[in-house]
Amino acid sequence: MSGEERMHRWCVASLQHNAKTGHSRVGNQPGAPKQRRLMYAVVDVKDKQFKVQEGDTLYVPYHSDADADQELTLDRVLLVSDGDGEVTLGTPTVEEASVTARVQEHVKGDKVIVFKKKRRKRYRVKRGHRQQYTQIAIESLNVNGSSAASSTEEETDASGQEDDDTADAVPDAEPTEA
- Residue scoring higher pLDDT (112 or 160): 112
Percentage of the chain surpassing pLDDT 70? 61
- Residue scoring higher pLDDT (99 or 159): 99
Rounded CA separation 59/89 (Å): 24
Taking CA atoms, 119 is separated from 14, 122, 125, 130, 161, in Å, by 64, 7, 12, 27, 79
Rounded CA separation 56/33 (Å): 25
pLDDT in tens, 38-95: 899 999 999 999 999 999 999 999 999 999 999 999 999 999 998 787 899 998 999 9
Q: Which residues pair with 87 in a beta bridge?
A: 81
Average pLDDT over residues 116-121: 97
- Decide: residue 77, CB within 10 A, 0-12 exposed, 13-18 middle, 19+ buried: buried
108 SS3 class: strand
71 SS3 class: strand
| Beta carbons of 57 and 101 less than 8 angstroms apart | no
- Could you tell me the pTM of the whole model? 0.61
Rounded CA separation 68/122 (Å): 47
Pick the most confident of 14-28, 102-116, 160-174: 102-116
Q: 3 — phi, psi (to 5°)? A: -65, -35
pLDDT of 166 > 50? The answer is no
